[in-house]
Structure 1
Amino acid sequence: MAEAMAVDPATWQGWETGRRPLSHVKAGVLLDIRRRLLALGADPGVLHLLDPAMDADRVITSTIYPEAGSRHPLATWVHTRDTAHMIAWALNGTVPPALARRAATGRRGPVAKAPLLSAPDRSVFFAHLREAAESALRAGEDGLLLHRQCLYLCSYDQGSEATSWMVHTLHRNRDLISVRGWTPHWATARSTVAALVRLGDHQPLRDFIDRGLVGDDSAEIANLNYWAYWLGSIREAQSDDGFMRRVPANWEPVRLLGGFAVGLQQAPAYMDLYVHSLWALLTTNRWLPLADPVLADVLATQTAQLLDHEGVSPRARRELSTVHYVLRENRT
């Protein structure tokens, strides 16, 4: 590989083992690496993950080894689902869905099964992340983005002490969940209920849908924009949560529809939010099933199966019925 990539073998080995972070190479060199790998037959989808992988490295490194006077990367940019999956891979060994179905490649000699951090590093990471969340909370409006993103990542820590801290901290935000419609703290409330779901508490998410989404056009737009960014339908990086307030103009609704179809399978714990968001997307864009009939058929099958499920909440059942009708009536 070193010969094919025209680099020194020690350099290539350093990249593979992590001794030399790929994010430290010059921009021109990184661009050349991508193009050489593509020419050698690398999967474009995997090459796409280099960016979120380097973002994850930066978040992890900046958290474990904070630099005095520098802003945490989570305070300057809204992280994406791909980056979150990469961070989770390092924290708990869960393979990102984009890579989960790929066959493992045989390697000579001992090799790690995942880029899993050591137990001491994970402990330091979460401890510093909790400190960053508390510090951001004291910063007021300027700390909103850092606070909510730290809280979300803290929910990956399943230790008993960490869980107690998370429950206390998240329930301290319950007043945000009870506010109706859009507020400057709307994104924090959404991240709070998402983290509570990860801890096994589903009711706050349903309360948030009822109070923080239903009946408020600004909140519904913000929710679809949030999903569009999270699922890759908005491709431009965002430096803060302000993009959620804008009327959708630069995202791909068909791609978002496909993201909802995948999410309903991969993250059943968030079914209520997926269903409501799918309902909001299709009731305002009833033409979408015509744009991708195959995807519409897949979603129609999914919604029919969910309607037969006894654990569906009353609101989700009503919205699923509407979604199923729109899919059935607008596919031809």
Structure 2
Amino acid sequence: MGLCMRSSSRQTLTSGQGTPGRPRGGVISGYVFRGIREQLGLTQEEVAEQLRVSADTIAGWESGRRPLTAVPVGQMLVHRHRLMQLGTVPALLQALDRALEADVLLAGALDEEATGVEDSPLGAWVMQRDLVEVLAWPLNHVPPQPVRDLPAAPRRRRGPAPAGPELSASERTYFFAQMRRTAEQARGEGQFLLRRQALYLSGYDDQPDTTEWLAHQQAAERPGDWLTRWLNSRSVAAVSARRGDRDRMSHFIHTALTDDEAGEAANLNYWAYWIGETAHLELSDDFIAARAPGPWPGDKLLTHLTQGLAPHHGYVDLNIHSVWSLLQVRPNLLRSGAAGRALRDRLPVMLDSRELSARGRRELESIRYAIRLAEA
């Protein structure tokens, strides 16, 4: 009954009632731009003078009233170069690039005039963490890694300001309604990637029926190939773990990874692409199904997974197993400097935790033994 009632309310939104109106195109990039200005220690008037625009233009960019996405590409590059000369932290400039892209995707999802799902850009390429974290920022209120890693900058503000990019209640509701609608309709030939990524973004919805709806979507699918089944299982497990349900993730590890070479390789290939180990974008999920891990080095992946070795981390079971699996195929990583040292330092804390699963503890003990052998 919960699914039916929820579906009805979502359909009302997509029929035109309660929609957010004309979509804003700069809510995320505007906030990142403000962060850049604050990191430089400049007022709106001062940065306006440096970029040769009006102070009202800067205020419009930061509020989203004048979207940065509407600035011509050539002019945006000029502004970017000037910000670089002023001393902007490179990670913030990269975050601005991702924020501009995320704003385009967000505005497209909020566009009530959009019809059908065939032309949705969400299915154009396999998205990576640096973009998804920025896109999810106004949905889960978690700043992307480049923003979290920055030291506090001097702030010169007039009055209170939000702690991150914000969507109105109606925009949030409409966005998630569109993600569900896209996932439900994207069942045609060549639309699996679109459906999978819409399902992933749906997982940020904090409504109580989200996990049930996602599980229903997985159960209703009848995939005809191994990769589709594997990715469906991983997506539902990941969303469930993010929402505090670790049982689905444990089941996924047991049934789709353990003692399955194809599943283990797919897991590592997925992780490596997600965190940017690979040098180019993928237009489909097919690369994940390679029967062996790709030609990526693994240092960046080990660092990322090690950062997720925390007892309360939603993905801790998957992170532990992925580290264990990665070291089976890249044992040299134990001697790879910072990444290897960080792993060695994290192990005692993890093994002292009482919240580890039996499998997680066995795998951590195996990793500790491998480290001792490498150091002997």
**What is the TM-score of this pair, normalised by structure 2?**
0.78
Q: What does residue 44 of structure 1 align with? A: 90
SS in 2 for 1:133: helix
**Aligned counterparts of 1:19 and 1:129: Cα–Cα separation in 2:** 25
Which residue in the other structure is 1:241 paired with? 285
Q: Does 1:287 align with 2:332?
A: yes
Contact 1:167 1:196 in 2 (8 A): no
Instruction: Identify which of 47, 54, 64 aligns with 1:18.
Output: 64
Tell me the amino acid that sits aligned with residue 87 of structure 1.
Answer: L
- Counterpart of 2:254 (choices 197, 210, 227) is 210
User: What per-residue deviation string (whole Å, max 9, x for no partner) do you get for residues 137-184 of structure 1?
Assistant: x33x5222122212221121112xxx325413314525989x9x9433
Q: 1:275 to 1:175 in 2, by over 3 A?
A: farther
Q: Which residue of 2 aligns with 1:114?
A: 164
Residue 8 of structure 1: how far off its partner (Å): 4.2
The residue correspondences of 1:162-311 to structure 2 (distance < 5 A) are 163-173=208-218, 182-246=226-290, 247-265=292-310, 268-292=313-337, 294-311=338-355
Residues 131/197 of structure 1: CA separation in 2 closer, same or farther (3 Å cut): same
Q: Hey, what's the Cα distance between the residues in 2 that align with 1:253 and 1:229? A: 11
Letter in 1 for 2:80: R
1:68 matched to 2:115? The reply is yes
Q: How many angstroms does 1:281 deviate by?
A: 0.8
Task: Tell me the residue number matched to 1:32.
Answer: 78
Cα offset, 1:11, TM superposition: 3.4
Q: 1:97 aligns to what? A: 145
How many angstroms does 1:331 deviate by?
4.7
Partner of 1:132: 182
Distance 1:176 1:117 in 2: 31
The percentage of counterpart residues that share the same residue type is 36
1:106 partner amino acid: R
In 2, Cα distance between equivalents of 1:302 and 1:78? 31
> Gaps (5+ residues) in structure 2?
1-46
Gaps spanning 5+ residues in structure 1: where? none
Q: Do the aligned partners of 1:193 and 1:208 also contact (CA within 8 Å) in 2?
A: yes
Find out whether 1:80 has 2:128 as its counterpart.
yes
- The alignment partner of 2:314 has SS state of helix
Number of residue equivalences: 324
Correspondence for 2:33: none
